[in-house]
Structure 1
Amino acid sequence: MKTVHLIQHTHWDREWYFTENDSKILLYYFIRDLVNRLEQDTALGPFVLDGQTVVLEDGLQVAPALRERLQALIRQGRILIGPWYTQTDFLVVGAESITRNLLLGKADCDAWGGYMPVGYVPDSFGQSAQLPLFLREFGIGCAVIWRGWCEQDVPYSEFTWCSQNGSRVTTAVLPWGYGCAKWLPTEGEQAARLLPAILEKQARFSLTDHLLLPNGNDQSPFEYGVPAMLASLKESQQDYQFARSSFTDFFKALQATGCPLPEWHGELLSAKYMRVHRGIFSTRMDIKQLNARLERFVSQALEPLLAVAGRLGLPCPQQAVENIWRGAMKSQAHDSIGGCNADRVNSMVKARLCDGLESAQQLFELNMAMLAEGITAQQTGKKIIVFNPLPHARDAHVRLTLYTPHADFCIVDAAGTPCRWQLLHDEPQDMSLIVQELSNSTTTTWYRKCDILLEAGALPACGYQTFYLQEGRAAGFDASTAGENVLENCWLRLELAHGQLELLDKRTQQRYPAVLRLVDGGDAGDNYNYSPPPEDWKISSDGCLTQWHSARGPLHDTLTLNWHIPAPADAAAREARCCNAGLHATLILSLPHDQPWLDVEVEVNNTLRDHRLQVEIPVGVTQAFHYADQPFGLIQRENQPAALQQWQAENWAEAPASLWPMQSLVMLHNGARGLCVVTEGLREYEIPAQQPDTLAITLFRSVGWLGKADLPWRPGRASGMALPTPDSQLPGPYRAHFALFPLAQAPDAPFWRAVEQWRTPACGYLDTGWSRFRTNPHGLHFPGRYSLLSWDCALHFSTLKKAQHSNALLLRGWNPGLTPVPCGQPAATGTPRRVTLAETPAGATDDVIPPGTPVSWLID
């Protein structure tokens, strides 16, 4: 006899085709009904509240009087909560966001008095290979998932899942989803006719006689009559024993069988039985970029600065930082960050991210201003504070915005030695828009707004250095001059010839012709999935260069290319092969004098609809696999999924397209030749089937529907709703930023150090003495140069922040490559202790860190 574990639950999307306002109003009635039913019948429960504590947070906004009753049920184990704060995405969202999601979710569970120790992920659009790592770091040994699994990866729906560093969790799949047993009849005879087919499907891939039966669905109320109905079937059949259960009880029963479980290593992205919606990696790319910017700025600029400021005696606004993270996580839920929402919802997702970035930038500027206030000037002029968040000293080029009434200015260090800088942009600025005191003036105060790049040498580790702006004094070096059609430094040479770009790696003499070619094709898909038109007509930038100019500067040389690409305005024009519109695009290519990378900015004015714009980067390496980054690691993937040959014959739910997610990096190399692309917020790449030696980075795609039916790459019903989403066409200006890193050999320590330099820039602040807001003097005194700690090792910096539950500092790095590296111990005032991502003692540790592994230190 098989044991059926009834799991009663709801899957609570905060927003989707409806807004969070809609769901909160519904939540009032849902929570009230759930509490009443459980209190009226003590035999009912447990009930899984979707594994995310944000449901409780939202619920108390509309039903605060229910707090004590809810808490009592949670403490009794009749309502199961956690471990997540929100049901996040795992392929688009960054590693620090996933970590903080569990950290805040666990803190919420502790406050409520209950905790479901199961990594419940019912609806993420594909599963990261690193999910076992995150769960194990938080002491969670079990996971329940849905999308991405199929028996061709691992033959059973119960298995041991291993992450890159060997972390292991016992995993159960809901092969037919969390809603496979929704809306069960409460009358026994009807249920007896319906259930056998459901249970037969549930048992199809099961390794043992223990089956999960999830009873619930999207925003569904408690089906309180189901347990009694199942109990009534006890006498009428002999095949199944039904138990009101939980995921924890299911895993206990699974373990008690003693049945050995198969192992799986890697990600789960199969679309054989369920859609994984591979197009979400590039849907609403503006939202993806904003989220990436917020994640990086908070974890790698704001929090490190607050750690430094806190050790110097300034207050730490920890609750404000936590509020920023919680707001971001509400926009990182699988639908929200996926962009597969109604336009109104996408506007709210974007607004939350903008709100978080505004708060983070204000915190950063106020703390920089307070640091500057406490520093005794060693030179004349206005103080410039340059902050280096990395835990090792470095030289850096720092972007700064200066406001000055003078035609000339000089920047010097603490010893009075002039520094080199390069003017990037110069325009007049009405200062009444910047300084509140000038807003009521009867005359306009005009300054120059100068965006510059400052050469800052020997910046201290996790610290700052003071420079000085001396206005009215000549810079003391030659400014930019006109250049030629070639950019060149010690490592690289880029040449423009006949409208195309060729990159030369001078270390190996390897040439990369026709790099950075813009290609625009049709997109007949929706917010969930890219789908090529039945007969696509692709337009490229070949022959469309209208003008170019270059400049040689003190710090880097630039080449600017302008294209006007005739193109079809929409799907109908593309089908008719009619170029009735145009795509205006600008590429700004910068080659620093002191680094082995080519910096690329793309600016596009998007007036087209129903299309996808990619930049193609031929590598000239043909092999079966490539590498991309994933949360806290690097993953090897096949260039062309083998399942492409069989998906249609087997009636898969969705094509296993060669569209892949990345955190920020993809590379194709063979040890002698190769290219790595590192991006700022771009999350999708492709290796086209007809161009297996080419990396195609998706800049953005434009679609006009939330869901469409019968797509060639996704047959059948529409995903979501057949709802127009004109904002998802992304009309107007669009900007993307990335860099090319040629590989002279297999990735080594200098390569990874250069990648870290590009991904984690130093930050600058000019203390003008003017401010939008004023604070009273704090009376503290700070040195002009300061380093909080150092940790000079091969690990990449992840964050430096205040610990969650104490005044200690938390420092984290991770191994970005594919070989083990030593990590050493940070040099800091205080005793560093290794801890987990959960900030609990790490137990036995090793100085050699495996690939794909984070290392966290708690420093008192």
Structure 2
Amino acid sequence: MTASKRVVHVISHTHWDREWYMPYEAHHVKLIETMDTLLDTFENDPEFRSFYLDGQTIILDDYLQVYPEKREIIARLCDEGKLSLGPWYILQDEFLTSSEANVRNLQIGHNDARKFGPISKLGYFPDSFGNMGQAAQLLRQAGIDTAVFGRGVKATGFNNRVEDTAGLESPYSELIWQAPDGSSVLGILFANWYNNGMEIPVDPALAKPYWEHRLARAEQYASTPHLLLMNGCDHQPIQTNLSEALRVARELFPDYEFIHSNFDDYKQALHADKPSSLSLTQGELRGQKTDGWYSLVNTASARVYIKQLNQRNQTLLEKIAEPLSTLAYQLGKTYPHGLLQYAWKTLMQNHPHDSICGCSVDEVYQEMKTRFAKSMEVGKALISESATFIAEKVDTTPFASFGPDAAPLIVFNTSGYEGSSVVTTEVEWSHRYFDQSENPVAIAKQVGDRTFAEGYLVDADGKRVAFSAEDLGVRFGYDLPKDKFRQPYMARALRLTFETGSLPSMGYGSFAWIPSRAGDSIESTAKESLITGDWTLENRHLRLSVEADGSYSLYDKNSRQLFLDLGHYENVGDIGNEYIFKQPISDVALTTKGSRPEIRIVEDTPFRAAIEIVHRLAIPAGADDRLDGEIRTMVEFRERKAGRSDELVPLLIVTRLSLDREGKGVHAHARIENQSKDHRLRVLLPTDIMADTHFADSIFEVAQRKNIPEKEWENPSNCQHMQAFIDVHDDLRGFTVAGKGLNEYEVLQDGRSTIALTLLRAVGELGDWGVFQTPEAQCLGTNEAEWLLLPYAGEAERFEAYREAYRYPVPLTVIGASVHEGELPPVHDFLKWNGEQLAFSSLKVNEERGDRMARWYNLSSSDIHLALHPDASTGAYISTILEDNSQDLVSNTIEVAPYKIITIGLPSISK
């Protein structure tokens, strides 16, 4: 250590949970009070040097919403270095928000901070419930070399109050944190939490023991003479007498230098004095060397419905609205930067850790559902406009030969991966527009008299396509032209379901509904079926057989591997809280094994078949009466003695298993009618793969994790996070399970490597520091869950399975069109690329330069070549997640290093 004195860096802050144990607006009022006090303190105390705004710019959005006239004061304080702003828009949960949501969070945080002054270049993760493995790479690409975090590295005691160094992953608060690609940052653990310098006494009699304790704890874990004391906590009011408190400290402890510091000065001092022997920590920080209770992973299953809404919203923006807007922009349409940012900001207001984790009071989730709806309505409007714009440029004249009533459909795939899907859409034809002087009833009859619901479907080559149809009759609709008043109409409508065949990875295919006319004869086609037995579905890839108890087997024809006993449901009690699952002592799991459900075929078409399984279980109505008293008196969950009630109520689970003709996986959908409280429901999927590790989709990586926890782990549950899928494989046999908004799984230590996927967790309290009842977290009523089962031939085929898993949650976009000439062919791919073991992440437009920005990441430990079609790669350059213009020009073949996130700038011809 080079300094002659130990330097005590006191950093003022308040950790601002935007909503948590109170609804947003209640917290908002407190924020206004806090910010007013902060501005007054800056004004009246010249020794109050700086304040850290919790790493998130939304604090200023919320403040200036009430006091917009104070914007100039804020900007001046930022310019003077007194207020430190950014780098994030919000403090998210890293594992429950998508890869692109984490990037947009940095992008928007940087852009908003830049409007006020310098950007805080600090990777700030004070209270994340574990940290993503690729954080160092993301931060480095954003020009950030230091990160601070409060969880994920072994510590002892509640909220990481470390009392000894035995067995720690690092003997110091400081360590080197490395991402899978080799990027690294200086990591700083809040070993004594981010409140270790809060409420510093002014009275010398109180200040002396305060500082003796706090300094000793900070010194115990500091690798340099620079000691970090965080002057604040959750929603902590400003310490307005801090300057006086520091003067008292200097008098009491002259051997220390006390400064009212900031993170820029503190990290600069750390980098200058840090030893060369700091520990190296790699990848995810998930608290695996703790006792396992306070890793808080079970927030992944609290209020599953919120996670499902989030998955839909994220997918809508990053995988549909942005790509379609980019394709339309490429053809000359203005890119909707402002509306997309508004939609993203509205979505990300649901991403703070206490919000998206499901660990807040009920009022928070009532407002979150509204935010999701607002964001998705904007996204849907942008999707419709972009798809319509593109469709108008598609040449649909090949359908003209089928007559004047042909109704073209343009089907867009924006997942980034080629593939076939079964799509359901609605088609209208024979539109009759009308005005207020006309009788809508007569017009509806006119349209009905001249049209029929019969007809057939053709593809771009004019070949018949198998379909199923539901007659929707004549219905009302309207257009909103850009140049005149709204245009109401009546039209004939039909709901069509059909298989698309292979669609381009970032493009579309064309189809047309050919309605029949009076006297037409419809050519019949031979009936085909995927049903090959009473309860057996089969295509060229797979065979699915349902057993009498509702479980099922799955045979992979490629690998010749058979998976047995899939799909049993497991129900257990839960006397924990929104943060932590706790099964009652002596509770025995209830399962559907050996049951006698109703089983029936519910769909039989040439392109898809489905089986429905109806389970009716009797389960306890909730916990017994002891739980209520234990919650009210704050009995710690590990000490609770409550069991499950003797009263039984029905649990109805309706499972639909479907297989597409070209499908490489089995689609599962469960409708769960929940009348019970205090319990957890999982689906069990034995893999019979003997492996020590498994793989889970996470943030810009498929993370490899151990099946057996560390020796320090005491929690009987070893649940973990996933984004899109969980995978277990060996050299010959592999099994991937993808989900839609299902973020919690466990690989059981049952000798069969069973994947247990959590579908529902019902609890009645928030948990943490007080008593907050959350009756809506019991999730009573109808719940739904969707997942995809993908067997494959082991290690060599796993990346193909991953592509199917990534494609699975991205719906196709279908837009109706007229028969017209156009500059685009009936089938087209806008962004052709190849790269085995690469995952596609996003396609959008940079606001500053107008370039298209496309992002991929390497899932493997090998160098992989990304090959872009020459038409798409002219003038291409390598950028970063912040989309800077490096002008490092590349050819149409780019080498992507192991685990690297690569962003390619593609200049647009429409600029």
Q: TM-score, structure 1 length as denominator? A: 0.90
Structure 1 residues 164 and 578 mapped into 2: Cα distance closer, same or farther (>3 Å)?
Answer: same
Is the Cα contact below 8 Å between 2:623 and 2:645 reproduced in 1?
A: no
Structure 1 gaps of 5+ residues are: 438-443, 648-654, 708-718, 770-776
Which residue in 1 is equivalent to 2:543?
493
State the distance in 2 between where 1:540 and 1:390 align: 36
Distance apart, 1:534 and its partner CA = 1.6
1:838 aligns with 2:882: yes
Distance apart, 1:434 and its partner CA = 8.3
Task: Name which of 511, 514, 531 aligns with 1:470.
Answer: 514
1:754 aligns with 2:754: no
Which residue in 2 is equivalent to 1:675?
735
Which residue in 2 is equivalent to 1:197?
213
Which residue in 2 is equivalent to 1:744?
793
Task: Name which of 780, 784, 791 aligns with 2:833.
Answer: 791
Which residue in 2 is equivalent to 1:363?
382
Is the Cα contact below 8 Å between 2:417 and 2:807 reproduced in 1?
A: no
1:416-470 deviation line (CA, Å, top 9, x unaligned): 22223345xx475783488899xxxxxx98966525133244x345222332111
Is the Cα contact below 8 Å between 1:613 and 1:701 reproduced in 2?
A: yes
Pairing of 1:375-390 with structure 2 (within 5 A)? 375=394, 377-378=396-397, 379-380=399-400, 381-390=406-415
Which residue in 1 is equivalent to 2:441?
none
Is the Cα contact below 8 Å between 2:204 and 2:248 reproduced in 1?
A: yes
State the distance in 1 between where 2:268 and 2:236 align: 28
1:706-748 deviation line (CA, Å, top 9, x unaligned): 12xxxxxxxxxxx043111111111222211111111312053
Structure 1 residues 456 and 507 mapped into 2: Cα distance closer, same or farther (>3 Å)?
Answer: closer
Structure 1 residues 791 and 572 mapped into 2: Cα distance closer, same or farther (>3 Å)?
Answer: same
Distance apart, 1:480 and its partner CA = 6.7
State the distance in 2 between where 1:273 and 1:7 align: 31
State the distance in 2 between where 1:488 and 1:802 align: 43
State the distance in 2 between where 1:553 and 1:156 align: 64
Pairing of 1:476-555 with structure 2 (within 5 A)? 477-478=525-526, 483=531, 484-499=534-549, 500-550=551-601, 551-555=603-607
For 2:144, the aligned partner's letter is: I
1:183 aligns with 2:199: yes
Structure 1 residues 565 and 644 mapped into 2: Cα distance closer, same or farther (>3 Å)?
Answer: farther
Distance apart, 1:197 and its partner CA = 0.9
Is the Cα contact below 8 Å between 2:87 and 2:110 reproduced in 1?
A: yes
Is the Cα contact below 8 Å between 2:529 and 2:606 reproduced in 1?
A: no
State the distance in 2 between where 1:134 and 1:91 align: 14
Name the SS of the counterpart of 2:677 in structure 1. Answer: coil
Distance apart, 1:198 and its partner CA = 1.7
Task: Name which of 495, 498, 511 aligns with 1:453.
Answer: 498
Name the SS of the counterpart of 2:844 in structure 1. Answer: strand
Is the Cα contact below 8 Å between 2:732 and 2:793 reproduced in 1?
A: yes
Is the Cα contact below 8 Å between 2:736 and 2:801 reproduced in 1?
A: no
Is the Cα contact below 8 Å between 1:11 and 1:220 reproduced in 2?
A: yes
Structure 1 residues 764 and 855 mapped into 2: Cα distance closer, same or farther (>3 Å)?
Answer: same
State the distance in 2 between where 1:202 and 1:843 align: 45
Structure 1 residues 780 and 422 mapped into 2: Cα distance closer, same or farther (>3 Å)?
Answer: closer
State the distance in 2 between where 1:679 and 1:851 align: 26
Pairing of 1:623-772 with structure 2 (within 5 A)? 623-644=691-712, 647=714, 655=715, 657-690=717-750, 693-707=753-767, 719-748=768-797, 749-767=799-817
Is the Cα contact below 8 Å between 2:548 and 2:596 reproduced in 1?
A: no
1:36 aligns with 2:82: no
For 2:266, the aligned partner's letter is: F
Name the SS of the counterpart of 2:17 in structure 1. Answer: coil
Is the Cα contact below 8 Å between 1:343 and 1:726 reproduced in 2?
A: yes
Distance apart, 1:175 and its partner CA = 1.0
Pairing of 1:60-79 with structure 2 (within 5 A)? 60-79=64-83
Greater Cα shift, 67-76 or 560-569: 560-569
Is the Cα contact below 8 Å between 2:420 and 2:663 reproduced in 1?
A: no
State the distance in 2 between where 1:762 and 1:47 align: 47
Name the SS of the counterpart of 2:251 in structure 1. Answer: coil
State the distance in 2 between where 1:62 and 1:274 align: 40
1:401 aligns with 2:426: yes
State the distance in 1 between where 2:477 and 2:833 align: 42
1:172-197 deviation line (CA, Å, top 9, x unaligned): 11112112222222233321121211
State the distance in 1 between where 2:478 and 2:761 align: 35
Task: Name which of 212, 234, 247 aligns with 1:218.
Answer: 234
Structure 1 residues 434 and 451 mapped into 2: Cα distance closer, same or farther (>3 Å)?
Answer: farther
Which residue in 2 is equivalent to 1:858?
905
Distance apart, 1:685 and its partner CA = 0.2
Task: Name which of 408, 411, 421 aligns with 2:457.
Answer: 411
Structure 1 residues 230 and 559 mapped into 2: Cα distance closer, same or farther (>3 Å)?
Answer: same
State the distance in 2 between where 1:812 and 1:310 align: 18
Task: Name which of 877, 895, 899 aligns with 1:848.
Answer: 895
Greater Cα shift, 668-677 or 756-765: 756-765
Which residue in 2 is equivalent to 1:567?
619
State the distance in 2 between where 1:739 and 1:53 align: 38
Task: Name which of 284, 289, 299 aligns with 1:267.
Answer: 284
Pairing of 1:321-336 with structure 2 (within 5 A)? 321-336=340-355
Is the Cα contact below 8 Å between 1:634 and 1:816 reproduced in 2?
A: yes
Structure 1 residues 475 and 530 mapped into 2: Cα distance closer, same or farther (>3 Å)?
Answer: farther
Distance apart, 1:633 and its partner CA = 0.4
Which residue in 2 is equivalent to 1:440?
none
Which residue in 1 is equivalent to 2:437?
none
For 1:583, the aligned partner's letter is: L
Pairing of 1:285-324 with structure 2 (within 5 A)? 285-324=304-343
Is the Cα contact below 8 Å between 1:422 and 1:454 reproduced in 2?
A: no
Distance apart, 1:812 and its partner CA = 1.0
Pairing of 1:234-245 with structure 2 (within 5 A)? 234-245=250-261
State the distance in 2 between where 1:349 and 1:434 align: 31
Which residue in 2 is equivalent to 1:22?
26
Is the Cα contact below 8 Å between 1:8 and 1:46 reproduced in 2?
A: yes
State the distance in 1 between where 2:869 and 2:145 align: 30
Q: TM-score, structure 2 length as denominator? A: 0.85
For 1:32, the aligned partner's letter is: D
Greater Cα shift, 202-211 or 326-335: 202-211
For 2:525, the aligned partner's letter is: F
Is the Cα contact below 8 Å between 1:566 and 1:579 reproduced in 2?
A: no
For 2:611, the aligned partner's letter is: L
State the distance in 2 between where 1:184 and 1:354 align: 44
Greater Cα shift, 383-392 or 484-493: 383-392
State the distance in 1 between where 2:560 and 2:765 align: 47
Is the Cα contact below 8 Å between 2:765 and 2:771 reproduced in 1?
A: yes
State the distance in 2 between where 1:644 and 1:747 align: 34
Greater Cα shift, 30-39 or 231-240: 231-240
Is the Cα contact below 8 Å between 1:632 and 1:854 reproduced in 2?
A: yes
Distance apart, 1:482 and its partner CA = 8.9
1:350-375 deviation line (CA, Å, top 9, x unaligned): 22112211221122123323333454
Is the Cα contact below 8 Å between 1:639 and 1:692 reproduced in 2?
A: no
Which residue in 1 is equivalent to 2:849?
806
Distance apart, 1:56 and its partner CA = 0.5
Greater Cα shift, 116-125 or 407-416: 407-416
Structure 1 residues 747 and 628 mapped into 2: Cα distance closer, same or farther (>3 Å)?
Answer: farther
Give aligned pairs, total: 825
Is the Cα contact below 8 Å between 1:419 and 1:456 reproduced in 2?
A: no
State the distance in 1 between where 2:150 and 2:586 align: 34
